[in-house]
Amino acid sequence: MATALITGASAGLGLEFAWQLATAKHDVVLVARNEERLRRLAAQLEAAAGIRAEVLVADLSVRADVERVADRLRATERPIGLLVNNAGLGLNQRFVTGDLAREETALALMVTAVMVLSHAAAGAMVERGRGAILNVASVAALLTSGTYSAHKAWVRVFTESLAVELRGTGVTATSLNPGFVHTEFHARGEIDMTAYPEVAWLNAEDVVATGLADVRRGAVLSTPSLRYRALSAAARIAPRSAVRAFGRYRRAYQGQEVELVTDATD
């Protein structure tokens, strides 16, 4: 079975990707900043699934760390057959009045790292004539929810363009576009989501299962759940003025305005 490399593997969707891939008997390379979490997860996966789990500690907002992960993707020993670009973060701030350094970190993590790692993986996979790249975007890519939407819009269009370029090579590219997912993503970003009803939320298990099934069938766009597929269709055909009105939901919270951020990554 092919080895899968998963970024943001220590929590959230990344953690679920690691478990589902290990259960399917794929060896895994686990990438995140938290070494303690990664090593604990690696031990659990090896004990439960009987697979090999490598740990690669990296901060993907730091270019030198991104290059170390890229080198692993290029390696010919235990080659990577599936790259899951999942790592990301939510910024609970307005752009104009927010911390620009945090914006630059988010851009590096959710755009630059995705580009660099996809480039490394695609090059190695095309040479072997097989492989798959799964980039986690979001339904927010179709909305106007601050710079998070901008980052995820880039991921979505980049992945579609990459899929076109890879056609006929034996390598595929898939953009996974979830909505709100029950993980620790929002809590870690200190983003209050209590205003959103349970019907708006998805389970991480279902999101990951859908994404992996769509990778297996070579789909370019993967949007888990009928309700988010309907929302995505509406956002694509609606006038952009309507999208701007819908996509920038805010709610008053402790005297501040909090931008909507969907849960797409760890």
71's CB contacts (< 8 A; 6+ apart) are: 120
Q: Left if phi > 0, otherwise alpha if psi is -120 to 50, otherwise beta: which for 58?
A: beta
8 Å CB contact between 143 and 149: yes
| Orientation angle between helical segments 63-74 and 113-128, nearest 10 degrees | 10
H-type alpha helices, the chain: 12-23, 35-49, 63-74, 100-107, 113-128, 146-166, 185-188, 204-216, 226-237, 240-247
> Residue 263: which of 90, 16, 31 has the closest Cα?
90
Q: How far apart are CA 234 and CA 197, in angstroms?
A: 20
Catalytic-role residue among 148, 196, 228, 253: 148
3-state DSSP call for residue 191? coil
Rg (CA), the chain: 18
> Residue 40: which of 15, 20, 23 has the closest Cα?
15
What six digits make up the tokens of 106? Answer: 């988010």
Sign of torsion over alpha carbons 190, 192, 197, 200: negative
148 is catalytic: yes
Residue keyed to tokens 């370019």: 220
Q: How far apart are CA 86 and CA 129, in angstroms?
A: 24
The residues annotated with a catalytic role in the active site are: 148
